[in-house]
């Protein structure tokens, strides 16, 4: 039998040298781990527009509109096979300008800003952990989009240059 696909998006917000993460509670797919500050499942009309999904989720979950953030970029696409599903997760990064920082809350769990050096020690969702690790070692210094395939131990990333 062919496994079903689960298409998801996640966004990491950066501000003042820190990354905003969410300790996810009550989720259908991941629970009791740190993930990007907002994200979720694509609606049928979003299947060809991951950015529309992540921006909708950001506004629904944190009340942050697209006009309040800058430099929204798709940086990672991971694939994994878990619990009988092929999971595709589109990871976006964006900046929340210093003046936009305010008390943020989410009905999905606890939000907290982390310095990059704190993140490797966190209990994170599997692919999110490896996205963060790769981002701080490599991704933050490039403009590439990276594809990652998860195996049982890690995620293997390769740059995805645009083909002609």
pLDDT, greater one: 27 or 64: 64
Instruction: Name, in order, each residue with C-beta under 8 angstroms of 129's C-beta and a sequence gap of 6 or more.
Output: 122
According to DSSP, the residues that pair with 14 across neighbouring strands are 19, 95
According to DSSP, the residues that pair with 13 across neighbouring strands are 20, 94
pLDDT, greater one: 75 or 107: 75
The average confidence (pLDDT) of the chain is 92
Tokens 């740059």 correspond to what residue?
A: 159
Query: What's the chain's Rg over C-alpha atoms?
Result: 15
Q: Give the separation between CA 48 and CA 19, rounded to whole angstroms.
A: 27
Confidence of residue 31 (pLDDT cuts 50, 70, 90): low
Tokens 């998006």 correspond to what residue?
A: 9
Residue 99 has pLDDT above 60, yes or no: no
- Model pLDDT for residues 122-142, shown as the tens digit of each residue: 999 999 999 999 999 999 999
Tokens 């697209």 correspond to what residue?
A: 66
Q: Give the separation between CA 44 and CA 67, rounded to whole angstroms.
A: 24
**Per-residue model confidence (pLDDT) at position 74:** 98
């Amino acid at each position: 039998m062919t496994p079903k696909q689960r298409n998801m998006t996640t966004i990491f917000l950066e501000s003042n040298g820190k990354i905003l993460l969410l300790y996810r509670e009550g989720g259908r797919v991941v629970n009791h781990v740190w993930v990007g500050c907002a994200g979720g499942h694509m609606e049928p009309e979003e299947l060809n527009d991951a950015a529309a999904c992540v921006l909708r989720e950001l506004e629904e979950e944190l009340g942050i509109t697209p006009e309040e953030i800058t430099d929204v970029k798709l940086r990672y696409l991971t694939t994994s096979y878990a619990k009988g599903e092929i999971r595709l997760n589109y990871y976006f990064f964006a900046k929340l300008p210093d003046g936009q920082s305010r008390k943020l809350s989410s009905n999905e769990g606890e939000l907290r800003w982390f310095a990059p050096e704190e993140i490797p020690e966190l209990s994170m969702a599997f692919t999110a952990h490896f996205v963060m690790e790769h981002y701080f070692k490599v991704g933050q210094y490039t403009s590439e989009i990276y594809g990652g395939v998860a195996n049982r131990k890690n995620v293997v990333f390769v740059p995805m240059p645009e083909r002609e």
